[in-house]
Amino acid sequence: MQSRFFARRAVALRTTLRAAVLAAIIPLAFQNMALADQNVLLSYEATPSAGFHLPRLSQASYDDRAAFSAEVLKEIVPKIITANGIDPATLETEVTPGGYLLKTNASLQTEGDLDDSTADRLAGSLGYVFRQYSVLASRLNDTTGKTGFVVVRFHQDSLNATVAQKFFEAADATEKGLGGGYTVFGDEQIFLNVTNSEGRPYSGLDDANFQDGLKRAAASFGDPAPEVSSSGKATARFIGNDWEKSKRREDYQSLLGGPDGELVKKLDEISKDYASLVAKTAESKGWNRDE
């Protein structure tokens, strides 16, 4: 059975940013399959991983992170896209649950028809402004890829952040290595068996055991009862910055044309707006208070 996630590559996502307007829903007609095959997905968080003194950010609730992500989606993401010479109306971005190392946080997912170099540059720009360790770039419908994926589907409207975290934990308890990460779209929880530069999965599992573990976790999960609806191959890579060695985001800068390049200069201005938003939210939510 074909995953609804892939079917949605040719139709509009439900609650997205179209241009600079949050949650504008614009239906799209079915498009040529060759065009759909070019779509890339960028996965990242709006809350910073480094560069800010936020000792209580780790204690922030999912709802607070989601609200901040929605504000970033409205105020900052379109500026970054535009700085890259891309029309924001050609991309779709939404706030969804996302998991990493057995923890669920609000994440942002940006999808569109971009070539690899443009996608990597946009990923680097997002990571640069949002001070991310890395941004995941993937083509989930690329059958020539070498990264295994599994889609776990839940009943309509039953998958939320709480259920996603519960299944995340159940999957890891079923097979160690399945607690690395996931992405949610609608009623589907997507797991990628991402590999390192040597082609070894971070999970420590080959694709067959990766898929089998998720099938067993789904079968024993209970209510709401999920099922593994599809699996296959994708391309996936991390665009990142080594913050221990590159505290001024040099890894990102090298990808973006250097610290004196026009793109980095534009992103530095956008970073000021982002820093103001972080400071305002941190003060109101107490993220900047010392323990």
DSSP secondary structure, 280-291, as one string = HHHHHHTTTS--
85 lies in some domain: yes
pLDDT at 154 over 50: yes
**pLDDT for res 142:** 83
Going by pLDDT thresholds of 50, 70 and 90, the confidence category of residue 9 is very low
**40 within 8 A of 112, measured Cβ to Cβ:** yes
Going by pLDDT thresholds of 50, 70 and 90, the confidence category of residue 33 is very low
224 lies in some domain: yes
Q: Which secondary-structure segment (H or E) carries 6?
A: helix 4-7
- DSSP 3-state of 126: helix
pLDDT at 14 over 60: no
Segments of 212-274 assigned E as strands: 227-240
**18 within 8 A of 89, measured Cβ to Cβ:** yes
Report how far residue 105's alpha carbon sits from residue 127's, in angstroms, rounded to the nearest whole number.
17
Q: Per the structure block, which two tokens stand in for 194? A: 């991402």
**155 within 8 A of 224, measured Cβ to Cβ:** yes
Tell me which residue has tokens 């829903």: 25
Report how far residue 8's alpha carbon sits from residue 185's, in angstroms, rounded to the nearest whole number.
10
Q: How confident is the model over 183-202, as pLDDT tens digits?
A: 987 899 999 999 888 889 99
Tell me which residue has tokens 């159940």: 170
Q: Per the structure block, which two tokens stand in for 213? A: 């573990």
29 lies in some domain: yes
pLDDT at 243 over 60: yes
pLDDT at 75 over 90: yes
β pairing state of 188-193 and 103-113: unpaired
291 lies in some domain: no
Tally of structural domains, the chain: 1
79 lies in some domain: yes
CA 199 to chain CA centroid, Å, is 21
pLDDT at 229 over 90: yes
14 lies in some domain: yes
290 lies in some domain: no
**pLDDT for res 89:** 96
118 lies in some domain: yes
Q: Which secondary-structure segment (H or E) carries 42?
A: strand 39-44
pLDDT at 16 over 60: no
Domain span including residue 111: 4-285
Q: Per the structure block, which two tokens stand in for 3? A: 């995953």
